[in-house]
């Protein structure tokens, strides 16, 4: 298993055993990569994490996938081996290839409706990044209104029902980062529990989910990473004990 150290240009190929286990090229602070970790962990699929320094990517990464993208999943047992990119497509593949503990609904209509809600989160996460960067907070809250209404309409513990489903995991990385937003915005931060009663309870429930806990990161650490990145010297290895 990876130590969590992010490999940079000049690093040798990853020190991972040739054991046929999936390899996930990831970055510890990336919310898109987090989606794939969540799905792999929720489905209890074994995998090796290989973390990449995105500011100074190792050359061998481009041999794996020409665009050097992260997250990328290497299917080491398949001829090639193929390397999949795009967080949503990787998650769909995993849910089809590993049918135990399904995350997508089986019914085609329910499935497409879930995908549409994931698609509609695109502008919401865009609004998160803007708010995190000092922009207006309201567009992010307005985006979350859709999910508050939806959870209220469903009347379930999670979007997936009585247990987590794909929508829970696909939107979680940005919902986990509410505390980061609070740290960044200080007195400006105006999350309103009365506006988001269902999402507030849902977040507490999600924080106790094993897959969420396995990749959870304290807001202070996220903030420290972003601080070093803004200063032009991103410290990818904040979580590595001997960093």
145 binds its own copies (CB under 8 A): no
Least Å distance, CB 120 to its own copies, is 9
Does residue 91 have an active-site annotation?
no
Q: Most distant CA pair in the chain: distance in Å?
A: 54
CA atoms within 13 A on the CB side of 30: 23
Of 108 and 232, CB closest to its own copies: 108
CA distance 186 to 188: 5
Least Å distance, CB 114 to its own copies, is 10
Judged by CB under 8 A, the number of residues near its own copies is 20
* Core vs surface per residue 188-226: b (16+ CB within 10 A) or e: eeebeeeebebbeebbeebeebebbeebebebeebbebb
Site for its own copies (CB under 8 A): which residue of 15, 59, 63, 96?
96
In DSSP terms, 23 is beta-bridged to 48, 74
- Annotated catalytic residue within 7, 22, 24, 30: 30
Site for its own copies (CB under 8 A): which residue of 16, 21, 55, 113?
113
86 binds its own copies (CB under 8 A): yes
Q: Which stretch binds its own copies (CB under 8 A): 13-21, 22-30, 77-85, 207-215?
A: 77-85
Of 9 and 110, CB closest to its own copies: 110
Of 111 and 185, CB closest to its own copies: 111
Q: Which stretch binds its own copies (CB under 8 A): 81-89, 129-137, 183-191, 207-215?
A: 81-89
CA distance 142 to 2: 39
For residue 150, with 0-12 CB atoms within 10 Å meaning exposed, 13-18 middle and 19 or more buried, which class applies?
Answer: middle
Catalytic (active-site) positions:
30
Q: By CB under 8 A, name the binding residues for its own copies.
A: 75, 78, 82, 84-86, 89-90, 92-93, 96-97, 108-109, 111-113, 115-116, 119
């Amino acid at each position: 298993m990876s130590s969590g150290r992010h490999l940079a240009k000049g690093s040798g190929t990853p020190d991972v055993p040739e054991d046929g286990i999936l390899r996930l090229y990831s970055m510890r602070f990336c919310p898109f990569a987090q989606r794939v970790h969540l799905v792999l962990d929720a489905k209890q699929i074994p995998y090796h994490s290989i973390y990449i320094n995105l500011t100074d990517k190792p050359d061998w990464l481009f041999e794996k996938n020409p665009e050097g993208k992260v997250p990328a999943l290497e299917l080491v047992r398949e001829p090639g081996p193929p390397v999949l990119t795009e967080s949503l497509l990787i998650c769909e593949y995993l849910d089809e290839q590993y049918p135990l503990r399904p995350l997508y609904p089986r019914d085609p209509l329910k499935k497409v409706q879930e995908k549409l809600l994931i698609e509609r989160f695109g502008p919401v996460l865009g609004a998160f990044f803007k708010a995190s960067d000092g922009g207006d907070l309201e567009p992010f809250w307005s985006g979350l209104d859709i999910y508050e209404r939806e959870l209220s309409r469903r009347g379930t513990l999670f979007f997936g029902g009585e247990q987590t489903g794909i929508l829970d995991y696909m939107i979680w990385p940005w919902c986990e980062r509410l505390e980061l937003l609070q740290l960044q915005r200080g007195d400006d931060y105006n999350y309103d529990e009365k506006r988001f009663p269902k999402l507030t309870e849902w977040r507490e429930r999600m924080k106790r989910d094993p897959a969420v806990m396995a990749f959870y990161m304290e807001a202070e650490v996220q903030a420290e990473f972003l601080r070093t990145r803004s200063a032009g010297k991103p410290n990818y290895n904040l979580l590595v004990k001997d960093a």
